[in-house]
Amino acid sequence: MAHTEWKDAPGLPDFSLLKRLARDQLIFLLEQLPGKKDLFIDADLMSPLDRIANVTILKQHEVDKLYKVELKPIFVLMFTDLVNADKVAGRFRRYKIIFTPQKFYACETVLEEQGVYGDVTTDEWNFYILPLDDDILSLELPEFFRDNFLEGDQRWVTTAGSALRLLQSVYGSFSKVYGIGRCAKMVYESWRELMEDGEQRTRQPEFAKVFLVDRDVDFVTPLCSQVVYEGLVDDLFRIKCGSVEFGPDVTSSDKSIKVMLNSQDKVFSEIRNEHFSNVFGFLSQKAKNLQTAYDKRRGMDIQQMKAFVADELKGLKQEHRLLSLHIGASESMMKKKTKQDFQELLKTEHSLLEGFEIRECITYIEEHINRQVSMIDSLRLLCLLSITENGLLSKDYRSLKAQYLQSYGIEHLLTFANLRQLGLLEEQQAGETLTVMESKVGKLVNDKTVGKLTDAFSSLAKKSNFRALSKRLALVPKSGEEYDLRVPRDMAYVFSGAYIPLSCKLIEQVLERDGWTGMEEVTRMLNGQEFAVTARSKTDAQRIVLVMFLGGCTFSEISALRFLGKERGTYYVKQME
């Protein structure tokens, strides 16, 4: 089975320390305003705040009322209007704005422009990292990707650097830092500057190495449909801050239930990394085992029954409740995926990854768009086609774009502009149109002629980086080979044996080589910006690697790294935005 029981893993850092540090600082900030107080909270902070300091803790520190603020872009303006209204009415109150994870100069400028700068005190709650599970940390910055990679706003670079500094101050220094990508390099530099300016503490290190990777290094992986259980739950129900809300179709009642998804859930911990095709068999066996445990009550005497009730019954009831929820979730996912013809979608994705039957794939995408099956899935397929084929032929790009806008609305013109700017959905420019011909020739000829033909085309056409990377790193297993998803042999199982996540393959290769030596061609195709820095001369025995995805990561990548960790005897702690 492709999973690891992380909480039983010896030597894994105790991340509850991070929660306690964040909670203590928040309490300190609240106590600076003695007496009863009302708390206005950004809607995006509600869930993280609940995991750090719940309502009971806030009440203990004299928080009287809580207000959730949905209007994020004008949060500060709303607050200044409130202050000015109080001044006009002659009401005297004390006001404090707490910025998290950091305070920006622009916010103070707004306070000054609105004439309330002297009436309001400001502070920072340095809440950089939220532990979501034994091996998952999050910066809880959903805006990171758009701000950094689309808008070019680098405000969160310092936040990521501060998160690394916090981890190092709590868990000891890192022996080596690897990275790839422009943002990764900036985060590393920010962290080094913070470490030079701050106080250095010496303690036994708990992390061996750190790997920083930009999301735009690997766009293919997040564009592929997830087929591990946790990934499917996220795709269909949306996991937010480590929890998910299951509706009546899952709970078999008229109520929705919010469920924490982590290693404390005994059922979830055993299926989270499994390919979905294995999940029903596991849940069925689990149900039989649970029934057997219940049946032990028969024939018990009074003393045995008392012991059973005291020691086992509560745990069995909890496990039964969780089992029912995950069976309900699995059935709901199966119905939704069957309705959307999920197998045909996966077949198209796999063909795009392999570079086969591209014209048939385009026909499927057109049908998908025209039937309005799913607006997001249609965009994912368009982007996957573009990246794997090094852009779309002009006639295909214009036709598919027109069909999409006709099906889903002209307002998505901006979406196409943004995707083009990110490099996710592009039209081939003049001089690039021979890549398709080159690809077909490469499939037909298997001798030295291929190399000569490729050289001949290189002056006219830009080679598809994904195709070259896929071949160089063996990302796509040879078609026709049997792949047993019950006993996976590599990380490709997270995509039904069709594709190894590029990001995870890079991490595997770099850690094996202890650097980027021998991967010069790969890094060139990924636009460089790679680095490997020895931060501490002594290498400790601890085998824990921190992988920081800058711009977010998928649960498929998390499952793949868990598989890799199990195979190599290394523990990977994943940190995402």
Residue tagged 């499917």 (tokens):
232
Alpha-carbon distance of 172 to 165, in angstroms, equals: 10
Mean per-residue pLDDT over the chain, rounded: 86
- Mean per-residue pLDDT, 554-565: 96
Alpha-carbon distance of 37 to 41, in angstroms, equals: 13
pLDDT value for 105: 83
Alpha-carbon distance of 44 to 54, in angstroms, equals: 15
- Mean per-residue pLDDT, 8-34: 85
Residue pLDDT, tens place only, 424-462:
999 988 655 444 444 444 444 444 444 444 333 333 333
- Percent of the chain at pLDDT > 70 equals 85
Residue pLDDT, tens place only, 152-196:
999 999 999 999 999 999 988 888 999 999 999 999 999 999 988
Query: Which element (helix H / strand E) includes 419?
Result: helix 413-422
Alpha-carbon distance of 164 to 137, in angstroms, equals: 12
Q: Residue 1 pLDDT > 60, yes or no? A: no
- Mean per-residue pLDDT, 355-365: 95
pLDDT band at 539 (very low <50, low <70, confident <90, very high): low
Alpha-carbon distance of 173 to 165, in angstroms, equals: 9
What b/e readout covers 197-218, taking b as 16+ CB neighbours within 10 angstroms?
eeeeeeeebbbbbbbbbbbbbb
pLDDT band at 202 (very low <50, low <70, confident <90, very high): low
pLDDT value for 152: 94
Least confident range of 208-222, 384-398, 436-450, 554-568: 436-450
Alpha-carbon distance of 242 to 131, in angstroms, equals: 9
Q: Residue 305 pLDDT > 50, yes or no? A: yes
- Mean per-residue pLDDT, 399-415: 96
Alpha-carbon distance of 460 to 453, in angstroms, equals: 12
The token duo for 542 is: 């601890």
Residue pLDDT, tens place only, 72-113:
667 788 888 889 999 999 988 899 999 999 888 888 888 999
Longest dimension (CA), the chain: 87
- The residue among 438 and 264 whose pLDDT is bigger is 264
- Mean per-residue pLDDT, 461-470: 74
pLDDT band at 303 (very low <50, low <70, confident <90, very high): low
What are the residues facing 121 on neighbouring strands?
A: 96
Going by the DSSP 8-state scheme, the letter that residue 253 receives in this structure is S
pLDDT value for 483: 87
- Asked whether 527 and 192 are in contact (CB, 8 A), the reply is no
What's the Rg (C-alpha) of the chain? 26
Residue 214 Cα distances to 326, 336, 492, 545, 560, angstroms = 33, 32, 21, 17, 17
- Asked whether 103 and 76 are in contact (CB, 8 A), the reply is no
Q: Residue 479 pLDDT > 90, yes or no? A: no
pLDDT value for 523: 95
pLDDT value for 338: 82
Phi then psi for residue 178, to 5 deg, are -115, 160
Least confident range of 81-85, 396-400, 408-412: 81-85
Q: Residue 484 pLDDT > 80, yes or no? A: yes
- Percent of the chain at pLDDT > 90 equals 62
pLDDT band at 308 (very low <50, low <70, confident <90, very high): low
pLDDT value for 9: 44
Alpha-carbon distance of 157 to 148, in angstroms, equals: 9
CB count in 10 Å sphere of residue 176: 19
* pTM recorded for the entire structure: 0.87
Query: Which element (helix H / strand E) includes 491?
Result: none
Residue 79 Cα distances to 42, 88, 96, angstroms = 12, 15, 10
